[in-house]
Amino acid sequence: MTTKPRILEIRQKVLKQNDLLARELRQRFKDSGVFVVSLASSPGSGKTAFLEKTLRTLSATYRVAALVGDLETDNDAVRLARARVPVKQITTGTLCHLEAAMIERSLEDWQLDQLDFLFIENVGNLVCPSSYDLGENIRLVLLSVTEGEDKPLKYPTIFNTSDVAIITKMDLAAAVEFDLPAALANIQRVRPGMEMLTLSSKNGAGMDTWLEFLTAARLRDMPATATFHS
Amino acid sequence: MHELSIALSIVEMAEEESERQGGARVTAVHLKLGPLSGVVKAALESAFGLACEGTILEGARLQVEEVPIVGFCKRCHVERTLPSMQWFVCPECAGPIEDVLRGRELEVIALELEELEVPR
């Protein structure tokens, strides 16, 4: 018996399943009139504090909810629930990122058409989340002033695949001698034209600009459904 | 580190294809990898070996073709290959490159199969 080698061309994206599912989710979000925002950052960049403040402020006017990815604990979900909006934890175990299938499963018992905004907090990680489309309208990448100005150069992929960069913990900028112009220049180096915002969840500086940006982005993406809810 | 789950997806894809081809043994997988895929080549290569164990891909080779980032320069009005993923500017005019055309690839291009030939 002999063997016969041959080459078979297949040309398939490795993450095809995820991409297809993300596309379906995106359509579902659009049909339901919910604007979806995902957040990626390093651990400890102030993602949860930022999200808590955002949910709290936004919920006065809009119907909002959040999905929170975390390796083990539900601490973040508990913190966010203080904002009195629906929050669901996605425990990923050892997985370092969220995938579209996890989002789909988590949404099973939620009425999407009852929401105006859905936030998806990814696992604290600047590498892996960049590969997975979750069907979101916009992807935010957060960078805190304590992490240093060169973070965008170290993790160009997540910055290049995100839509908005948010610099957090600005209240600490002076204490850590954060060079804001350098940080902004580094972001523009890896993603020219990227929308950039600076804020402090602690003292609230910059939150108004962020919320204005967000509501305008929703209006732009779904003009027909952007009605006022109270 | 999500290279192991990526490697498992590759193995799964190859297994399905092998099944369609009558259970042929897969001896190599050809992969196209862009710098913006978020996947590290070396980590993927070691994860691939693990992922193949006990499957029809046992011992298979992972042939990675690394492709560069290609963007569109609006000033020059041409496609440009970018030498670095830390600098999205046109290498000719230094204008910003906002549109990335290629560089996110994570694609299985081909499989090398070994079929048993039944002697006549």
pLDDT for A227 equals 53
Cross-chain Cβ contact A10/B36 below 8 Å: no
Scored b (16 or more CB within 10 A) or e, A201-228 reads: beeeebbeebbeebbebbeeebeebbee
Q: Which of A9, A127, A191 sits opposite B109 (nearest CB)?
A: A9
Cross-chain Cβ contact B111/A8 below 8 Å: yes
If you measure CA to CA, which chain A residue comes closest to B104?
A: A131
ipTM for the complex shown: 0.86
Cross-chain Cβ contact B115/A2 below 8 Å: no
Residue by residue, pLDDT tens for chain B (120 residues) are 689 989 999 999 999 999 998 889 999 999 999 999 999 999 999 999 999 999 999 999 999 999 999 999 999 999 999 999 999 999 999 999 999 999 999 999 999 999 766 666
Higher per-residue confidence, A221 vs B73: B73
Strand A35-41 to A138-144 pairing? parallel
Write out the H or E segment, with its range, that includes residue A121.
Answer: strand A117-121
pLDDT for B41 equals 94
**Cβ–Cβ contact B23 with A under 8 A:** no
**Cβ–Cβ contact B63 with A under 8 A:** no
Q: Could you write out the DSSP letters of every residue in A150-199?
A: THHHHSHHHHHT-SEEEEE-GGGTTTTT--HHHHHHHHHHHSTT-EEEE-
Per-residue pLDDT reduced to its tens digit, A165-210? 999 999 999 999 999 999 999 999 999 999 999 999 999 999 999 9
Q: Which of A5, A157, A188 sits opposite B36 (nearest CB)?
A: A157
Q: Which of A17, A161, A193 sits opposite B98 (nearest CB)?
A: A193
**Cβ–Cβ contact B118 with A under 8 A:** yes
pLDDT for B118 equals 61
If you measure CA to CA, which chain B residue comes closest to A2?
A: B117
Those residues whose C-beta lies under 8 Å from the C-beta of residue A129, and which sit 6 or more positions away, are A38, A40, A96, A97, A98, A122, A123, A158
Do A10 and B17 meet the contact criterion of CB atoms below 8 Å apart? yes
pLDDT for A167 equals 97
Which amino acid is located at A14 in the chain? V
Q: Look up the pTM and report it.
A: 0.90
Q: How far is it, in rounded angstroms, from Cα A2 to Cα A184?
A: 62
Chain centroid to Cα B24, Å, comes to 22
**Chain A partners within 8 Å of B120 (Cβ):** none
If you measure CA to CA, which chain A residue comes closest to B118?
A: A1
Per-residue pLDDT reduced to its tens digit, A12-48? 999 999 999 999 999 999 999 999 999 999 988 999 8
Specify burial of residue A126 (Cβ count, 10 A radius: 0-12, 13-18, 19+): buried
Percent of chain A clearing pLDDT 70 (strictly above): 96
If you measure CA to CA, which chain A residue comes closest to B4?
A: A95
Q: How far is it, in rounded angstroms, from Cα A40 to Cα A130?
A: 8
Q: Which of A11, A131, A161 sits opposite B109 (nearest CB)?
A: A11
Those residues whose C-beta lies under 8 Å from the C-beta of residue B102, and which sit 6 or more positions away, are B34, B67, B68, B69, B70
**Cβ–Cβ contact A224 with B under 8 A:** no
Cross-chain Cβ contact A158/B38 below 8 Å: yes
Q: pLDDT band for position A5 (50/70/90)?
A: confident
**A79, pLDDT greater than 70:** yes
pLDDT for A2 equals 63
**Cβ–Cβ contact B10 with A under 8 A:** yes
Scored b (16 or more CB within 10 A) or e, B27-52 reads: bbbbbbbbbbbbbbeeebeebbeebb
| CB pairs < 8 Å spanning A and B | 114
